[in-house]
Amino acid sequence: MKVLFLRDVKGTAQAGEVKEVAEGFARNYLLPKKLAVAATEGTLKSVTIQKQIEAARRARSQEKASTLAERLSQVTLHFKVRVGEQHRLYGSITSADIAEAVEKQLGEPVDKHKIVLEEPIRHLGEHKVPIKLGAGLEPAVTVLVEREEEAKKMAEEKGQVGEVLPGKATSGDAARRPARKGAG
């Protein structure tokens, strides 16, 4: 009996393959468990159409991901934070903070689980943070962590009015709220 496999069956076939199998194997195992369907002309045609639709969807997804990767590689995220001794931050900048800042700056949502951050950022300076978009794309965004006082001075030098409040950002920059007392 000729069947079209819907799922991988170890030692027999992979999903999407059409194979000739014993009738008993098909009737008693493959068909009841919905691992395969009888390979009729109609099912083969519908599978071909589904494969074409899936290929087109994958191509659009790949194009969108490469465009996003290009935009992300040019992004610099600014975080103004409170700093303690030895330039250590009160609190830290996490992948969730970076995802939120990317969404604010680009308008594109990025899953925080795709941001490759071995541990939260706890020091001032410039950090390159890669983001896994899939399909082999892994652009790195630049995260610039500055002291609130430095941000305030830069704003004054540029002639910008206003003050930098603890945990507040200046003109569209992402900000990190100060950590609660007693937090690590």
- How far apart CA 46 and CA 56 sit, in angstroms, is 15
Query: How sure is the predictor about 3, in pLDDT bands with cuts at 50, 70 and 90?
Result: very high
User: Could you say which of 12, 43, 67 is where a domain stops?
Assistant: 67
- Quote the percentage of the chain above a pLDDT of 70: 81
User: Could you say which of 26, 44, 67 is where a domain stops?
Assistant: 67
Residues 60 and 86 in one domain: no
User: Could you say which of 37, 67, 97 is where a domain stops?
Assistant: 67
- How far apart CA 72 and CA 57 sit, in angstroms, is 22
Query: How sure is the predictor about 181, in pLDDT bands with cuts at 50, 70 and 90?
Result: low
Q: Is the pTM of this model over 0.75?
A: no
Residues 51 and 77 in one domain: no
Residue 112 is classified by DSSP as G
Residues 36 and 126 in one domain: no
Q: What is the DSSP string of 145-173?
A: EEEHHHHHHHHHHTT--S---TT--STT-
Structure tokens at 115: 């941001």
Expressed as residue numbers, the domain containing 109 is: 69-175
- How far apart CA 27 and CA 37 sit, in angstroms, is 10
Structure tokens at 87: 């330039």
Residues 55 and 83 in one domain: no
Read off the pLDDT of each residue in 113-128 and give the average, rounded to a whole number.
93
Mean predicted lDDT score pLDDT of the chain? 83
